Amino acid sequence: MATSPAVTNSEFVPNSFDGTAWPGIEPLLRALRERPVRDRAELERWLLDRSELDAACSEAQAILYINMTCNTEDKAAQQAYTTYIETVPPKVKPLAFELDAKQTTLSRELGLDSAPGRGDRYKVLVRDVAVELELFRAENVPIQTELSLLSQRYDQTVGAMTVEFDAQERTMPQMARYMESTDRALRERAWRTMSDRRLRDAEAISDIYDEMIAKRDVVARNAGFADFVGYAFKEKHRFDYGVGECGAFHRACAEHIVPLVRRLDRERKDALELEDLRPWDLAVDPKGRAPLRPFEGGRQLVAKAVATFDRLDPRLGAMLRSMGDGSNTLGARHADGSVAYLDLDSRKGKAPGGYQYMRDRSRAPFIFMNAAGLQRDVSTMLHEAGHAFHSMLCVDEPLVNYRTAPIEFCEVASMSMELLTMPYWGQPQNGSRGSAGKDDCFYADEAELARARRHQIEGAVGILPWIATIDKFQHWLYSKPDHTRDERRVRWLLLDEEFGHDVKWDGLEASRAHAWQRQMHLFGSPFYYIEYGIAQLGALQLWLHATEHGDQSAVEAYLAGLRLGGSKPLPDLFKASGLTFDFGPEMVKRLVDRVQKELETLPM
């Protein structure tokens, strides 16, 4: 199992500390607030102690969140998370604001940035805390609590979605297998079954989102912003790009990527010998071959992923191997009380999506996903493993603020693993690193490997218009918070016309109009989605580096950037991995042109 190194450099927080209850947190917050700090050495000690307290509190919330999402039907886990959200953050935030104010004042007075031998060690920390200080409003604390509870309600609503199909109750992720069936009638029946189930809760989900939009607008206006757009950019510490750059990305996707995606759609339609593509035709193999089935169950998924990473670089394989064998856990701990690191298989009552969550005090990562035996699950596993590698490579960093990076670079860590591992999904060749058995690879057949690689590369660029759609949708939503549901529907459909697939939706208008509800980021993490686009372009740059200079060179560049955590500004993190922080039209065109050349080498 993964180790939990005690690299704290602080004895301020006792081992018995309970970060889920205010009585244990309050005395430590007040002690930090009242502690005299007379010089830079004392300030650095104060920062370490605050970091350890923040890490302990963060881990307490992480465990509650993990338990809640692993089983949305566990009433005790749901109540524990609800109680925490209602009772702890509302009390912590005002005192945290006071600590931010003290830290900012002391940093200025004691010249923290100019500490001997430290260089710009604290530049990012000072900048980030100043933003938190600027944004804090006491009147927003209860509203933010309400927003967290609304997000939980969305997870519960979606997590409860199951259907009866082929005489068995199935989750939505499990139903995705049918989208790869070569039986078109079966695909259509499965798609309509899922669509009907989602539409049953469409109004309830819209109710949740209406509340969220209204509350977020109030939060922004309380903080002095004209709308939530400006507030969100500030809150997410977007120092290196703004609304204009996002607009340039939207235009680049429309100009350079949508034509490619729609050309691929037409090729798919012709290969399937169809008059029109329908939504249930996008995942099936266009040549009528049986669906790719790279693994069965979480344990096999982990075993094959470990072997894949071993062949790319043994250091990566060792990190994933340390996290366990993929047995389901139903929470942050196994039944025997030992720490759990993985919960992978889809099941009823499990929240949607996937994530990697670092428990900050113990430095123990956790990967959550809804695997159903699909190629996309392979990508998700490799993706979340990349996040775990990022976290694990930063465990020696004493400041919790620097043990994570801006999301735009965190997603480079994950998306790069999807691309760099592609040559190693198949059976190892003589002389290659790692095990040589066909049971240790996702694809023993070369033709299947080529299909999977094409699927991955098409997906790497194909996701970008969807990212542009979601991001542009949010810019409109929050700049016009008083919009009606009908106006929202019209706007969504216009965006789908601009960025969507070349698909015929006749008779499916309600499903098309509510497709945005499946994007969980809209609910729990507003404006957190453009990061995927920025990062995907970074990952494609790293993939290009590998094709030109070799996989080992790319891995070394990858590790060099990840080891920095969040201690440097975003463009510097990209630079450390040999990447250019650029997501405008020229970069998009260059990478898309290279992808098209790669696709020409891979049969459909």
Provide the pLDDT for residue 67: 95
**pLDDT class of 279 with cuts at 50, 70, 90:** very high
Which residues are registered as beta bridge partners of 171? 162
Sign of torsion, CA 34 39 40 44?
Answer: negative
Confidence of residue 503 (pLDDT cuts 50, 70, 90): very high
Residues 473, 382, 501, CA angle at the centre, nearest 5°?
35
Model pLDDT, residue 169: 95
Q: At what angle do helices 585-600 and 446-479 cross, to 10 degrees?
A: 160
Q: What is the mean pLDDT of residues 380-403?
A: 97
CA-CA distance, 185 to 33, in Å (whole number)?
Answer: 66
User: For the segment 302-357, what is each residue's pLDDT rounded down to a tens digit?
Assistant: 999 999 999 999 999 999 999 999 987 789 999 888 999 999 999 988 988 899 99
The pLDDT of residue 360 is: 96
Mean pLDDT, rounded, for 33-40:
96
- Residue 150 scores a pLDDT above 50: yes
pLDDT tens-digit map of 91-147: 999 999 999 999 999 999 998 876 566 668 999 999 999 999 999 999 999 999 999
542 with 412: CB under 8 angstroms? yes
Residue 298 clears pLDDT 80, i.e. is over it: yes
Confidence of residue 585 (pLDDT cuts 50, 70, 90): very high
Return the residue matching tokens 């994007």. 519
In eight-state DSSP terms, residue 257 is I
Q: Could you give the CA distance from residue 400 to residue 150 in angstroms, rounded to a whole number?
A: 28
pLDDT of 255 strictly over 50: yes
pLDDT of residue 119: 64
Q: What pLDDT sits at residue 6?
A: 44
Q: According to the model, what pLDDT value does residue 352 have?
A: 84
Task: Write down the pLDDT at residue 3.
Answer: 43
> Would you say 133 and 96 are in contact if contact means Cβ atoms under 8 Å apart?
no
Q: Angle at which helices 141-159 and 89-109 pack, to 10 degrees? A: 130
Looking at residue 117, its pLDDT comes to 60
| pLDDT bracket for residue 1 (50, 70, 90) | very low
Residue 5 has pLDDT above 60, yes or no: no
- What pLDDT, on a 0 to 100 scale, did the predictor assign at position 412? 97
**Residue 27: is it exposed, middle or buried by C-beta count within 10 angstroms (0-12/13-18/19+)?**
exposed
What pLDDT does residue 353 have? 87
Question: In 322-406, which ranges are continuous DSSP H helix?
Answer: 375-393
459-469 pLDDT, tens digit per residue, is 999 999 999 99
SS3 of 404-446: CCCHHHHHHHHHHHHHHCHHHCECCCCCCCCCCCHHHCCECCH
User: CB pairs under 8 A, 24+ apart, for 245-251?
Assistant: 245/583, 245/584, 246/471, 246/472, 246/475, 246/530, 248/583, 248/584, 248/585, 249/468, 249/471, 249/530, 249/533, 249/534, 249/583, 249/584, 249/588, 250/468, 250/471, 250/472, 251/585
- Its pTM stands at 0.90
Q: What is the pLDDT of residue 494?
A: 98
Residues 6+ apart with CB under 8 A from 48: 8, 9, 10, 12, 398, 399
pLDDT at position 116 is 60
Give the mean model confidence (pLDDT) for residues 175-186. Answer: 94
For 431-441, what is the mean pLDDT? Answer: 64
pLDDT value of residue 120: 86
d(CA 195, CA 434): 43
Lowest mean pLDDT among 6-10, 154-158, 180-184, 212-216: 6-10
Look up tokens 């977020």; give the residue.
Answer: 216
Q: Over the chain, what is the mean pLDDT?
A: 93
Among residues 578, 588, 572, 498, which one has the least CA distance to residue 536? 588
- Total H helices, total E strands in the chain: 24, 5
Neighbour tally for 596: CB within 10 Å:
14
